[in-house]
Structure 1
């Protein structure tokens, strides 16, 4: 199942992230695709803040991984843009938190090809003349359920 949403402005991208945070129910593997400046980190910020984080949400471009403990949710935000080789993920201990109990948001997942498992949800953000087009595709039973929850929430508006 694939959903598409037109998003205009930062506030709308943050709101979409918050809706994703609710729909994911605290777990899953999410791949975020899009050019530099497309809004991957903004979407992630909305999601992370919707789960209760009150501080700044910084891009993990230089640290590669930003962990968040949000009550019962263990969330890991990764940015693999600077990764030279997928095997570096092993040295970072990524396998330790790629499990069914955590929520992992991974920007630039192609840099981890061959190491990362299949995502539950793949999100692709494309810039348009008026904003962004966000495509959300479920790739597992959990990802399909997330898409169904989002579709129902959008239909209720």
Structure 2
């Protein structure tokens, strides 16, 4: 696993999210961490746009899982927001693994996964705020050959 870090502001989200979104393949999991308002959803929206989504993706905060399937996008993607999950035992009902057969997962608030996780997940963490944001990526071996940044 290798690390990547860069200064980041919301104007960079389109470029960074687009590059990562274009590199997604079936079975990928992208974990998006950061405080409220850090820009996790903005980054996820840019990934979805890179896969062909037209218009703005709604935040999945209330739905928890917002699926996107062809022809809306060229790769099935589930955008997941675990903010409202209080106990990791609730995750079984979401059936997240099912999305990985032919698609990818974008998961906000992965801290709510508890001990559960995916070893090959790309972990993106946004820290700081405003112009002082830093994007850090833990790039797993499965991503090293196609890491776009």
Distance in 2 separating the partners of 1:106 and 1:142:
18
Q: 1:132 to 1:27 in 2, by over 3 A?
A: farther
Q: With structure 1 as the length reference, what TM-score do the two structures score?
A: 0.83
CA RMSD of aligned residues (A): 1.9
Deviation per CA, 1:44-73: give whole Å up to 9, x if none. Answer: 011101110002211111110000014441
| Structure 1 position 93, deviation (Å) | 2.1
DSSP 3-state at the match of 2:18:
helix
Distance in 2 separating the partners of 1:18 and 1:124:
16
Give structure 1 stretches of 5+ with no counterpart. 152-157
DSSP 3-state at the match of 2:29:
strand
Q: With structure 2 as the length reference, what TM-score do the two structures score?
A: 0.87
Instruction: Kindly indicate whether the alpha-carbon contact (under 8 Å) linking 2:38 and 2:129 is maintained by their aligned counterparts in 1.
Output: no
- Aligned pairs, how many? 146
Q: 1:26 to 1:17 in 2, by over 3 A?
A: farther
Distance in 1 separating the partners of 2:76 and 2:62:
21
Match of 1:77 in 2: 79
| Structure 1 position 37, deviation (Å) | 0.5
Q: 1:26 to 1:5 in 2, by over 3 A?
A: farther
DSSP 3-state at the match of 2:59:
coil
| Structure 1 position 114, deviation (Å) | 2.5
| Structure 1 position 94, deviation (Å) | 2.0
Distance in 2 separating the partners of 1:74 and 1:55:
17
Alignment partner of 1:2 is 2:6: no
Match of 1:113 in 2: 114
Give structure 2 stretches of 5+ with no counterpart. none
Distance in 2 separating the partners of 1:70 and 1:26:
13
Match of 1:155 in 2: none
Deviation per CA, 1:116-139: give whole Å up to 9, x if none. Answer: 333420001012562421111112
Aligned structure 1 segments of 4 or more residues deviating by more than 3 angstroms: none
| Structure 1 position 5, deviation (Å) | 2.0
DSSP 3-state at the match of 2:19:
helix
Match of 1:59 in 2: 59
